[in-house]
Structure 1
Amino acid sequence: MTMHPGPIDIHAHWLPRELFCLAPGTPLPPLRDHRGQLHLGELPLSIDTEAMSDIARILADTETAGLGARVLSAPPFAFPVADHDCVDDFVGTFNDTLHQVCRDSAGRLAGLGLVSLHDPAAARKQMEAVAGSEVIRGIAVPPLLAGTSLDAEPMREILGIAAELDLAVLVHPMQLPRPEWGSHYLANLIGNPVETATAAAALVLGGVLEDLPRLRICLVHGGGCAPALVGRWEHGWRQRADVRQGGGRPPRETFSALWFDTLTHDVAALELLIAHADAGRLMCGSDHPFDMGTHDPLALPHAAGIDDAALEQNARTFLGLDTGETHD
């Protein structure tokens, strides 16, 4: 795949209108357009419907943001988290349509597809199809499934298949509700970073990254709470046998094998992430078109001293597009 030169936004969302019904078995109401605004049932999402579903709008927003390209994945409420007989059809339609819009974008768009999360056999077939697509470069998954995280089955097997097939993986939180987070948008403001930190802990302490050294897996929102917890994990790993039982490498070392976007909303938080992460595994992320995203995704990494060339090259490597080419 030849992508348009310039920084690449690894974290942007898209869903075609024909899939506003959401995945089979979901407890959520369907999406709908109301006077140009996207609603989840009766809940307004503060998103222009076109910004989520219209490729021409997405390309225009990509240009306005000063980006070379965007990588599209499904919004988290469209993840097929229910074990349902018709999930495969939903996944197939999403992946096929994603392939088409990325193929026709003249290198401005790439994609991360969906898989049937409860069925690793079906997921393997879907990922084999994705691996045959030049424009879909991997998959997007939730950090939690049925009360378990990425170190437990079936998600651990799915990550193993992705590593085997050389596919990138993006982990995106789902804003799961909890009673104590019922006000002040805390299910997002606290819940999303906690979900992501849970996934990071599963990968680091659960031995996943040791077992799958080829796995390229990205945690969005700058890793959520995880960068602030690495020291605590390290202390626990040195003090407690139950923390060490998942793997033989200390957490600080293993943490550097993870990839991250730079969407921390705060320069100091991004600098903390930089202190713990591998500089070659930090990428631009916008969370377009959500209200917790940004219209200027390059501002934060620039403020933290990460330039466009690094953002582009890191994303190319994550996507398996590292051909060594350079652009004047």
Structure 2
Amino acid sequence: MSLADARVIDIHAHAVMEETFGTAGEFGPELTEEDGVPVFRIGSYKLRGVKYRGSAFMDPEVRVAAMDRAGIDWQLLSPNPLTYFHFIPAAEAIAFCRRHNDTMAALASARPDRLGGAAALPMQDVPAAIAELRRAVRELGLKAAYIGTDMPHGLDDPSMDAFYETVCELDVPLFIHPAPAGIDGPAASPALSKYELDIMLGFTMQESIAVATLLFGGVLHRHPRLDVCISHGGGALALVWGRLEHAAHKRAWAPDHLHRDGAFAEQLGRLWYDIHMHDDRALELLVERVGTDRLVYGTNFAGWDAPEKFRVPTMDVPLADNARRLLRG
């Protein structure tokens, strides 16, 4: 099996690697136990009760066996969203990303028939992120850039143009996925601290904002060869589509290039969307908006919300072929 002939390709699968522990200085990451319960620490944030060691998150043989049971042929492994480290001092973030990418490349190269890897990047220092992406792709053979939705500057900040140009130059896709707000950056609304709403609704909000920022900030217009994949179907994009489109035509700040009939849908149709959405009706609405050519399968493999078995929801779409185009495979 390989990426070239895989029938089921999962592009949403995070990995945790022992070799990265302690490489971000005081921010960790660190995996310990308290009263027999595993505790994953990132700075002052603690995630309790998630079994990383001995699970598919950390053990590649356990992962591959679980992939076999789930009917998944090949996975793109990506950074753990808890460890984007986009808001910590740049030196610690750079050190973590270098070790992460070295380890990710070794992991993927040991099982290229089943696994590929995406690069973690220190986005608080754009020149350093560019340098690390070049190293990760050209020297280590990683297949994609992977970043969070939030960092000290916006996705539409002028400083990011050089980064996007490098992504295009290296001919790799850019994956954007949220992290729980407040781990190493600004805190979210206190309302999101209840019931894990920071993950269930906060992620949706961050993804929706990221899509709108790329659109209204002109990023997709300035970089027509840029391939960006947004997790979880782009958040609430399909639902708020009409409101955003109305703003594109009516608000004075909306960029001129969106005023042309069809330009709004054309721009959003250039994004790629991971269909890990848990709702066939929501997916059907997304398909109505953007079509199927840029949909890819994702699972959040081994996570709390991962499906037990591969299933294409109510569609006859060549998702693996889409993933191969996205991954240049």
TM-score relative to the length of structure 1: 0.87
Partner of 2:135 in structure 1? 129
Mean Cα deviation higher: 113-122 or 184-193: 113-122
Alignment of 1:97 with 2:108, yes or no, is no
Q: 1:232 to 1:127 in 2, by over 3 A?
A: same
CA deviation profile, 1:97-147 (whole Å, cap 9, x unmatched): 11111111042001111122122222222222223257511111001112x
Gaps of 5+ in 1: 322-328
Distance 1:36 1:156 in 2: 47
Please tell me whether the aligned partners of residues 219 and 258 of structure 1 are also in contact (alpha carbons under 8 angstroms).
yes
Tell me what 2:94 maps to.
Answer: 88
Aligned amino acid, residue 97 of structure 1: T
* Counterpart residue number, 2:327: 319
**Residues 157 and 18 of structure 1: is their aligned pair in 2 closer, same or farther, counting only changes over 3 Å?**
same
Per-residue Cα deviation, 1:264-316 (whole angstroms, up to 9, x for no partner): 111001111111124111011011222133333x32xx222144xx1111111
Q: Is the 8 A contact 1:197 1:226 kept in 2?
A: yes
In structure 1, what is the equivalent of residue 237 of structure 2? 226
How far has the Cα of 1:175 moved from its partner?
Answer: 1.6
SS for the counterpart of 1:173 is coil
Aligned residues: 314
Match of 1:79 in 2: 84
Instruction: Give the secondary structure class of the aligned counterpart of 1:285.
Output: coil
Which 10-residue stretch deviates more, 267-276 or 38-47?
A: 38-47
Map of 1:259 onto structure 2: 272
Tell me the SS of whatever aligns to 2:32.
Answer: strand
| % identity of equivalent residues | 27
Letter of the 1:20 partner, please give it. Answer: F
CA distance in 2, matches of 1:112, 1:165: 13
CA distance in 2, matches of 1:35, 1:306: 48
Q: RMSD between aligned alpha carbons?
A: 2.4
Residue 216 of structure 1: which of 227, 232, 239 is its match? 227
**Is structure 2 residue 171 aligned with structure 1 residue 161?**
no
The partner residue of 2:209 within 198, 208, 229 is 198
Q: CA deviation at 1:188?
A: 1.0
Aligned AA for 2:100? F
- How far has the Cα of 1:205 moved from its partner? 1.4
Whether the 8 Å CA contact 1:21–1:31 is kept in 2: the answer is no
Q: Which amino acid aligns with 1:58?
A: R
Q: Is the 8 A contact 1:286 1:295 kept in 2?
A: no
How do residues 212-291 of structure 1 correspond to structure 2 at under 5 angstroms? 212-244=223-255, 250-291=263-304
> Judging changes above 3 Å, is the alpha-carbon distance between structure 1 residues 135 and 35 closer, same or farther for their aligned structure 2 residues?
farther
- Shift of residue 225 of structure 1? 1.1
3-state SS of paired residue (2:122): coil
Q: Is the 8 A contact 1:175 1:192 kept in 2?
A: yes
- Change in 2 beyond 3 A, CA 1:222/1:133: farther
- One of 304, 322, 326 as aligned partner of 2:314: 304
Partner residue of 2:40? 40
* Secondary structure of the structure 2 residue equivalent to 1:110: strand
Q: Gaps spanning 5+ residues in structure 2: where? A: 182-187
CA distance in 1, matches of 2:107, 2:10: 17
Q: 1:235 to 1:117 in 2, by over 3 A?
A: same
Return the alpha-carbon distance in structure 1 between the equivalents of residues 160 and 118 of structure 2.
16
